[in-house]
């Protein structure tokens, strides 16, 4: 198969990917997963001063309706299993923002026997937001970084295996 025969597929897929990614980045439905004090700052982010809904982010109470999980606070080993179950219920594509030092690396409680050494030991984290607790502006910046990551993805090209050798 020559490149000329597949050129329209490349063009259409690229433009369609851009449109789909723009729609996905502009309508992130996030699930609040506040485990400790960072959850207070997470709630402030949804308030009138920070208002992350202006970027298209909408809170959801169910994992089955969410494509973004914001984990804020200390993840204990007992809660890690439940967190994984919630993550598995989320539809693809799904993203994780780890908010605060405790969820990033265990934070102040990292030497405790019951604390997980970071969310990335349990789930694939897309964006880390540092701080103890991070300000609402930091979470907003993390959301914008995630939107940039979403815009750079190529879902349709991956599904159709464009640009890869055909497998028999």
pLDDT in tens, 82-96: 999 999 998 888 899
CB-CB contact of 161 with 9 (8 Å): no
Domain boundaries, the chain: 31-159
Please state, in angstroms and rounded to a whole number, the distance separating the CA atoms of residues 113 and 77: 9
Can you give the pTM of this predicted structure? 0.77
* pLDDT of res. 10: 55
d(CA 106, CA 69): 18
**Between the CA of residue 136 and those of 5, 26, 130, 143, what are the distances in Å?**
50, 19, 11, 11
Q: How far apart are CA 11 and CA 27, in angstroms?
A: 25
Task: State the alpha helices, DSSP H only, in the chain.
Answer: 3-25, 38-45, 77-89, 101-105, 136-151, 155-160
Contacts with 90 (C-beta within 8 Å, 6 or more apart), sequence order: 31, 63, 64, 66, 67, 69
- Per-residue pLDDT averaged across 56-74, rounded? 85
Alpha-carbon dihedral sign for residues 144, 141, 43, 95: positive
What dotted CATH number matches 31-159?
Answer: 3.40.50.12280
Evaluate the omega torsion of the peptide bond into residue 93 and state whether it is cis, within 30 degrees of 0: yes
pLDDT > 60? residue 54: yes
In this predicted model, what pLDDT tens digit does every residue of 143-168 receive, in sequence order? 889 888 888 877 665 554 545 554 44
């Amino acid at each position: 198969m020559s490149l000329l025969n597949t050129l329209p597929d490349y063009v259409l897929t690229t433009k369609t990917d851009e449109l789909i990614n723009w729609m996905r980045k502009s309508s992130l439905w996030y699930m609040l997963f506040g485990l400790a004090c960072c959850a207070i700052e997470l709630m402030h982010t949804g308030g009138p001063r920070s208002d992350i809904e202006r970027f298209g982010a909408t809170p959801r109470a169910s994992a089955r309706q969410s494509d973004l999980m914001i984990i804020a606070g200390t993840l204990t080993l007992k809660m890690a299993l439940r967190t994984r179950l919630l993550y598995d219920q989320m539809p693809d594509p799904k993203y994780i923002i780890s908010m605060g030092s405790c969820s990033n690396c265990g934070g102040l409680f990292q030497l405790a026997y019951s604390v997980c050494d970071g969310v990335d030991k349990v789930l694939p984290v897309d964006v880390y937001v540092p701080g103890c607790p991070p300000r609402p502006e930091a979470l907003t910046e993390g959301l914008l970084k995630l939107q940039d990551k979403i815009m750079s993805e190529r879902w349709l090209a991956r599904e159709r295996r464009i640009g890869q050798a055909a497998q028999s």
